[in-house]
Amino acid sequence: MNTNVHVFSVSPFLTLTEKVTVEYLCQLFFGGESVKHGGFTCPGGSLANLTAMITARSILFPETKAKGIQDHKFRLFTSEHAHYSFHKAAMTAGMGIETVISVGVNSQGQMESEKLRQAFLDSKLRNETPFFVCATAGTTVYGSFDPLNEIADICEEFGLWLHVDASWGGGVIFSPKHLHKLTGIKRANSITFNPQKMLGVPLLCSFLLLRDKSVLAANSLDNASYLFHEENEYDNGSQTLWCSRLGDAFKFWFSLQWYGEVGYCRRVEHAFEMVTLFYENMLKNSNFEVLLKPACLQVCFYYRPSEDGERNTKMTHGIVQVLRNERKYFIDYAQGKRGDFFRIVIQNPLTTEVFIDEVIKEIDEAGKKLLHTL
């Protein structure tokens, strides 16, 4: 396993494992003419997202590869709730953080497609060069799924590259019950999908999937002849933005042999059932205020919030600290407009109803004690 999948000759088995796994995933996400699909693993979703953006730039503006971005005022669009990696990507790519236009979301944390259209038109009026849209399937904080078909319509209309960051939410592809959240994903040009997240495959395991693999040639260079000896579609290293890579696809491939699609379906649906239970039990207890009905596996909530954001933050941090100090639960939180709120992610297949009742009870008890001190 300790070998490098940059060239076929060094690791034939792992290279082929990656190839069949990518083909399988592309078929799952894109359907249709599988022979055209392609992709590879990346060390994490952020680098998969960066690669998608660079590939789009090199394809739509081929001269940038040799000459750089020059006078182009590139702009990319993603929602306010998208992963922060696009800001890192824009900085890395020499376009600057301000290149990223954050499109507003609705109360459910989904990108509003009409706002995307408007943001695009405004950008054009400013003589900028919008070229890339990233929709999110499963946002980091709320777990929201952007309306992919509506966004794809806009991308097709204006010739924009559509990337879907399904790092987190892509796992629902295995659940007939939740699959509909990904409707429209097959219209993407590129997709990031991380089996290291919802499916529990060991880190790192992240895929960049391309609807048309021929675009990957955009990243290849011709000055590494010592390594890439001839045109070889199996030498993926020439298409990545880096070189050495582990055979991360093997971890997903092996996991898939073991669990099968049915096993993944059960894993995903069980997690959703637990989240629903968590959510419904919280609704029954007036001490909790849940921010939204979970779209994915996150539950975001306050404990007895007031109008005072600072007080809410104190309450959240206080309860988190109590449970950590008691070595009971390690709960995380996120920033909201009314102060920091709890953000619990349930995806462990061993999570039970009893466990959920217990967590809610413990938070409630810690909260009650803290109420007196705030």
- Per CB under 8 A, residues contacting its own copies are 2-4, 9, 43-47, 50, 54, 57-58, 64-69, 74, 84-85, 87-88, 90-99, 140-141, 196, 202-204, 206, 219, 221, 223-227, 229, 241-246, 330, 332-335, 343
Shorter beta-carbon distance to its own copies: residue 33 or 98: 98
Rg (CA), the chain: 22
Shorter beta-carbon distance to its own copies: residue 11 or 175: 11
Shorter beta-carbon distance to its own copies: residue 156 or 332: 332
Least Å distance between CB 42 and its own copies?
9
Least Å distance between CB 69 and its own copies?
4
Shorter beta-carbon distance to its own copies: residue 37 or 245: 245
What is the β-pairing status of strands 161-165 and 129-136? parallel
Q: Residue 260 has which token pair? A: 């099968």
Least Å distance between CB 150 and its own copies?
25
Spatial separation of the C-alpha atoms in residues 278 and 283, rounded to whole Å: 9
**φ, ψ at 207 (rounded to 5°):** -115, 140
Least Å distance between CB 195 and its own copies?
13
Least Å distance between CB 269 and its own copies?
24
Asked if 191 and 163 touch (Cβ cutoff 8 Å), the reply is yes
Task: Give the sign of the dihedral formed by CA 137, CA 195, CA 198, CA 328.
Answer: negative
**φ, ψ at 103 (rounded to 5°):** -90, 140
Least Å distance between CB 82 and its own copies?
10
Shorter beta-carbon distance to its own copies: residue 201 or 366: 201
Shorter beta-carbon distance to its own copies: residue 118 or 335: 335
Spatial separation of the C-alpha atoms in residues 299 and 282, rounded to whole Å: 10
The DSSP symbol for 285 reads S
The distance from CA 167 to its chain's CA centroid, rounded to whole angstroms, is 3
